[in-house]
Amino acid sequence: MTTERKFVATAAIAVAFASGALLSRTIDRRMTLTADPPAQTAAAPVQSRGGSSSALPDLTAVAERGIQASVNISSTEMVQVDPFLQFFYGADATQASTSLGSGVVVSTDGYILTNSHVVGNPRSEIHVTTSDDREVPARVIGIDTISDLAVIKADLKTASPLPWGDSDRLKAAEWVLAIGNPFRFNQTVTHGVVSAPKRHDPQLDTYTDFVQIDAAINPGNSGGALVNTRGELIGINTMIYGPSGGFQGIGFAIPANTARRVMDLLIKDGQVTRGSIGGISVRNITAAQAKANDLGDRDGVLVARLAQSASAARAGLRPGDVIVGFNGQGVKEQNQLARLVADAPVGSVVKLEVIRAGRPTTLDVTITRLQPPPVKR
């Protein structure tokens, strides 16, 4: 099995409406204990060469630190053989399949953050290779397929973790470095800028606002570090956009703030619990639908379908309703609603502000637990 596959990004959360854009994963198939990882001292801001504000920044020190915190990941899992081959050629029922990717050390005791599609499943045999070419085994701590994140741990006696940056403060055109293992070229560094600090789009995953970058990432970069000019981890490189499977100037990283929250839950509980309002399909409202519902300039999402067993249906939500608010926060589009629901505490009661036939109403909806896609075992 090759390490380069194409994928179609689909919405993992039930409130989202599936879209059909073709995405190419940057590798095989497509992202402390209870406390925060030990605080790290951020690298000093880099200076421009020649003292000119127009010169490119000198990122050599930042790159060196990022490389020291980066690892290459080899994950081997047993997969079912094609029944045709098994019948005609007598092949074994299972065969070993190896995928390669990247990871970043985030604590002095050896926790490593990467993508779930790099790890594969909890029983995968995993080895990491450090920047000084040491290969050590690692074990799976937790996998979250919805965010495409996973945490593994290795005995790294000289671990050099990167400090965390605040991804909410990213700005367009800010310089970044992408570090990883593209096409098995170990510890490759590319640079570019932030194209969009918070990219959410029906073509992309519904749960995460991605950091869009133009730094080159390719198959093998999955799970690698996205670093700012202060040497801080501000994202986990995850996927590229395009039909060819190769880089075309549009790449995406999971923001560090999202990655850190998911990582902490995986380390603490081994899983991430998210909220749901049941089987419901929504889509962004059109101008004609807004007019028909007397919304004026208000945004909202139209309820297309919902299961009768859904908690939202039991609360009185109906197909044709327009959801314009969630617990006092205006709802502008379907992906935003998906994230609001997912982040709501299970068992809590939220208020859905709804427009029905031009009339506003408020529904009290109980948040149930979202059943995540199964992890292969």
What span, in angstroms and rounded, lies between the C-alpha atoms of 298 and 150? 38
* Chain segment 328-361, per-residue pLDDT in tens: 999 998 888 998 999 999 999 999 999 998 899 9
Kindly tell me if the per-residue pLDDT of 308 is higher than 80: yes
Per-chain mean pLDDT for the chain: 82
pLDDT-wise least confident of 78-92, 114-128, 148-162: 78-92
What are the pLDDT digits (tens) for 33-76?
A: 233 344 444 444 544 444 444 467 899 999 999 999 999 999 98
- What pLDDT was estimated at residue 291? 84
Task: Please indicate, yes or no, if residue 213 is contained in any of the structural domains.
Answer: yes
Where residue 20 sits, what CATH number does that domain have?
A: 2.40.10.120
Half-sphere exposure of 6 (CA within 13 A, CB side): 10
Percent of the chain with pLDDT over 70: 76
pLDDT at 200: 77
* Confidence class for position 98, pLDDT limits 50, 70, 90: confident
Rounded to whole angstroms, the Cα distance separating 275 from 270 reads 17
| Same domain flag for 39 and 136 | yes
Which amino acid appears at position 234 of this protein? I
Q: Same structural domain for residues 290 and 245?
A: no
Number of domains in the chain: 2
How many Å from the N-terminal Cα to the C-terminal Cα in the chain?
18
Based on its alpha-carbon atoms, the radius of gyration of the chain, rounded to whole angstroms, reads 22
How far apart CA 129 and CA 137 sit, in angstroms, is 9
- Asked if the structure places residue 50 within a domain, the reply is no
pLDDT for position 246: 72
The residue range of the domain holding 310 is 275-369
Q: Determine the pLDDT at residue 163.
A: 96
One domain, residues 279 and 265:
no
Region class of 342: left (phi > 0), else alpha (psi between -120 and 50), else beta = alpha
Is the per-residue pLDDT at 156 higher than 80? Answer: yes
Q: What residues act catalytically? A: 117, 148, 222
Task: Give helix then strand counts, H and E, for the chain.
Answer: 7, 22
pLDDT at 358: 86
- Predicted confidence at residue 89, as pLDDT, reads 58
In a domain, 215, yes or no: yes
Question: Does 147 share its domain with 256?
Answer: yes
CATH number for the domain spanning 334: value is: 2.30.42.10
Q: How confident is the model over 6-24, as pLDDT tens digits? A: 333 333 333 333 333 333 3
Give me 312's structure tokens.
């939202």
Instruction: For residue 290, name the pLDDT band (cuts at 50, 70, 90).
Output: confident
Among the residue ranges 4-8, 148-152, 167-171, the one predicted with the least confidence is 4-8
Give the span between the Cα atoms of 236 and 142, in whole angstroms.
16
- Regarding whether 257 and 287 lie in a shared domain, the answer is no
Tell me the per-residue pLDDT of 196-233, one tens digit each, with 9 for 90 and over: 999 877 667 667 789 999 999 999 999 999 999 999 99
Assigned domain for 52 exists: no
Phi, psi (deg, nearest 5) at residue 320: 100, -15
Is the predicted pLDDT of residue 253 greater than 90, yes or no? yes
Question: How much is the average pLDDT of 290-301?
Answer: 84
Amino acid, res. 291: K
Tell whether 253 and 279 lie within a shared domain: no
Find where tokens 């005995």 sit.
Answer: 155
Do 160 and 201 have their domain in common?
A: yes
Q: Which residues does 43 contact at the CB level (< 8 Å), separation at least 6?
A: 61, 62, 65, 163, 230, 231, 232
Do 255 and 135 belong together in one domain?
yes
Among 215, 247, 269, which residue terminates a domain?
Answer: 269
pTM recorded for the entire structure = 0.76
- Rounded to whole angstroms, how far apart are CA atoms 104 and 148? 15
Domain boundary at 246, 269, 292, which?
A: 269
Residues 252 and 283 in one domain: no
Distances (CA, A) of 110 to 126, 136, 141, 280: 14, 11, 11, 41
Same-domain pairing of 201 and 165: yes
Other CB atoms within a 10 A radius of the CB of residue 37 amount to 22
**How high is the pLDDT of residue 38?**
41
Q: Does residue 176 form part of some domain?
A: yes
CB-based contact 227:247 (threshold 8 Å): no
One-character DSSP codes across 127-141: EEE-TTS-EEEEEEE
376 is a domain residue? no
Indicate whether 12 and 76 sit together in one domain: yes
How far are the Cα atoms of 3, 186, 237, 289, 331 from residue 355, in angstroms, in the given order?
Answer: 48, 54, 39, 11, 12
d(CA 115, CA 7): 15
Q: Would you say residue 2 lies in a domain?
A: no
Any domain includes 51: no
Both 208 and 149 in one domain: the answer is yes
Of the residues 269, 300, 319, the one at which a domain ends: 269
Give the pLDDT band (50/70/90) at residue 374.
low
